[in-house]
Structures are given as C-alpha cells and as structure tokens.
Amino acid sequence: MKIIKCDHYDDMSKKAAQVIISDMKEKKDIVLGLATGSTPIGLYKELIKANQEKQISFKDVMTFNLDEYIGISQKHPESYYQFMMRHLFNHVDIDQKNINLPNNDASSIDKHIKAYNDKMKKHPIDVQVLGIGANGHIGFNEPGTPFDNETFIVDLDEDTRIANQRFFDSLDEVPKKAITMGIKNIMRSKKIILLASGIHKAEAIKKMIEGPITTEHPASILQLHPNVEVFVDEEAGSMI
C-alpha cells in the first residue's frame, strides 16, 4: 500500500484527483468504480473542474458505483443515485448509458445483482475510489462479511445507520438494508484509491494498514491488493 499523507481535506482531494485525472488522460475509455459519502465530494469537485477546463472528458468513461440503499427509491434525495447525479454526473459530459449503480427499484433485485456482476466482469474496473467507514467497512461490506462475496444484499450495522443519520430526518428513516459490491468485486479492480479524512477515521486507517487481515475489519483485505493508494489528511493519518 502506498500511503500519501496530505495536509488537509482539500489537499487530499486534489492529490487523489491528480491520479485519476492522469489515468483518465491516458485511457479515454477508463472504467471507474465510484463511492459515495462525504469524503469523495472534494475529489469529485476536482474532476468536474478538470472536465470543465477540458483537461479530461467523460464521454467514453464507464462508471460502476459501490452501493445503494434498499428501502428508498432511486428518486429519494438521499439515494446514492441522486447523490452521484448531484455531486458528479450532472456536471460532466458523461453519457447516461455508461453510468451503472445498483438499482434499488429493479423489479427483480436478484436478477439485477447478477447482471451487475456480469457487467463488471465484462468491463473490469480500472480505478476504484473508496472511502472507509469508522468500523472499517468498504462499500457497505460490514465487519463479518466474507471476503469472497460478489454484489449482495447487506443488513446495515447500527453504527453505520447512526453515522449516516445526518443525511436523514431521523434514525428511523435510515434504510436498514443496502446492495453493495462485495470484497471480491472491489479486489478485482486494477487500482484502488482510498480516501479518509478526520480523526474519527484514524483508528480504522491504522487497523487497515497495520492490523491483521480479518473480516472483522473489512478494509484490512486491501493489504493483499497489489495497487492501492491511500490518501489521508493529517487527522485520519495521525495514528500511522
């Protein structure tokens, strides 16, 4: 794992964006794996800026998102579909048909999940963006999830629901389930860019890098991936 210690959130966002911008310049039809959460918002702003300045184009780019809630519609403002539209896709020249997210409105979720896995096998992810949960989750692979899962339906941990409550009016409104890429999908990506910001992520980052590889800390599996770049701000990197 390559660790890039950054001064603050903006510095982290810019440095991580530089890696993706340079990969996008090199491969016009790059396949990106994308994450939601507060952490990558600054990175997406940088990608939007680079697109508007015509440094990069999304015309031939394909994207796959890590996860999506179950129990709210795609139209709900806090669905990850809406998040991605708001923070990235509405502002860049991406072709709508190249955007892939797990679809919580699919008539048959099982069929949809199989199709999602098949499509990712056909279009392997070149660069996967990841955040990390304070409990070590990546995507929504909560502690205890087997490492050999492909996209599946997960019961969200209470900790995760509490962490995400800030986006909803009450804890009751936070969905209890989600569809997430499994660790196996994530580990197949050619490169992984993981971002973490804030003191509440410091322990999760330490365990990911220095701890034993265990399903109890899902991000620890990344120690076995050959091409991971971890961008941390001063606080998130304070224990390493």
Interactions with ligand GLP, residue window 154-173 (CB under 6 A): 160, 164
Angstrom distance (rounded) from CA 61 to CA 32: 7
Looking at the Cβ atoms of 100 and 160, the one nearer to ligand GLP is 160
Active site residues: 67, 135, 137, 142
Angstrom distance (rounded) from CA 158 to CA 172: 11
User: Which has the closest alpha carbon to 38: 161, 135, 141, 163?
Assistant: 163
Question: Are 202 and 234 in contact, with CB atoms under 8 Å apart?
Answer: no
Work out whether 38 is an interface residue with ligand GLP (CB under 6 A).
yes
Looking at the Cβ atoms of 137 and 191, the one nearer to ligand GLP is 137
Q: Which of 66, 125, 127, 186 binds ligand GLP (CB under 6 A)?
A: 66
State in angstroms the smallest separation of the CB of 139 from ligand GLP: 5
Angstrom distance (rounded) from CA 158 to CA 93: 38
State in angstroms the smallest separation of the CB of 137 from ligand GLP: 7
Please list, in sequence order, all residues whose beta carbon lies within 8 angstroms of the beta carbon of residue 169, skipping any fewer than 6 positions away. Answer: none
Work out whether 136 is an interface residue with ligand GLP (CB under 6 A).
no
**Binding segment toward ligand GLP, per CB under 6 A, in 15-23, 86-94, 115-123, 131-139:** 131-139
State in Å, rounded, how far the first CA of the chain is from the last one: 13
Helix 41-52 to helix 80-87 angle (10° resolution) is 40
Q: Which of 42, 136, 139, 182 binds ligand GLP (CB under 6 A)?
A: 139
CB-neighbour burial class of residue 196 (10 A; exposed 0-12, middle 13-18, buried 19+): buried
Work out whether 9 is an interface residue with ligand GLP (CB under 6 A).
no
**Binding segment toward ligand GLP, per CB under 6 A, in 2-10, 14-22, 37-45, 71-79:** 37-45
State in angstroms the smallest separation of the CB of 180 from ligand GLP: 7
Compute how many other C-beta atoms are within 10 angstroms of the C-beta atom of residue 235.
17
Q: Which of 140, 181, 208, 217 binds ligand GLP (CB under 6 A)?
A: 140
Q: For binding to ligand GLP (CB under 6 A), which residues are involved?
A: 35-39, 66-67, 131-133, 139-140, 160, 164
